Chains A and B, each alone.
Chain A
């Protein structure tokens, strides 16, 4: 069973702030890392999937990096907007399924 930790649990930022959060996972038996965004009353939405050490992915103002040797990934949001308010979930694939962390809940205030 993979132990996946996300920090912080929750975050309040002001509109325009840049922010980042962390996903930690065991570096052994690692195959891929998925990031999802889950807005209230909607379905989780896939953001990125990364596999290689040093991988960096970007989608608009959101980007993510991956360090497979030490077992962590960072998600960055540049110039946060209220529509970025959501729970951000990471899920490493350690072999045959995704194991989700409990997420970081982001609230962007005007």
Chain B
């Protein structure tokens, strides 16, 4: 079974631009979660999508948005980029059951650098 894939793997943008990151989950997984990791910080939860609906949201500004398609693929968009948005963005997929033991499987991440 293919794992979680993310594209692109690396991205360089300038302040004020916007960016779209893509995540393809494991086949059969219906939930996709997005995380941001910056140096010294743990994985910070951005949002989770399940069946094309945002099911949970973290404490990030509205510049961060996402969506999920009918095939469970998900995209994350960041508008008006700031220097502080430079980070590794990880997505994780899971079966999506509401049970708290639902294991998340992570992709390799997209390294975003904002200049």
Contacts and interface: CB of A to CB of B under 8 A. Distances in A.
Contacts, number: 56
Interface stretch (A13-21, A38-46, A70-78): A38-46
B40 A102 contact: yes
Contacts of B105: 43, 46
B83 interface: no
A93 B101 CA distance: 8
B115 to A, nearest CB: 23
In the A-B complex, the 9 residue pairs with the smallest Cβ-Cβ separation, listed nearest first, are: A31-B100, A32-B100, A100-B43, A43-B106, A93-B100, A100-B42, A102-B42, A44-B106, A49-B101
Given A42-B108, A100-B43, 11 more contacts: A1-B59, A4-B42, A32-B101, A36-B106, A44-B106, A46-B105, A89-B43, A91-B43, A97-B33, A98-B104, A100-B35
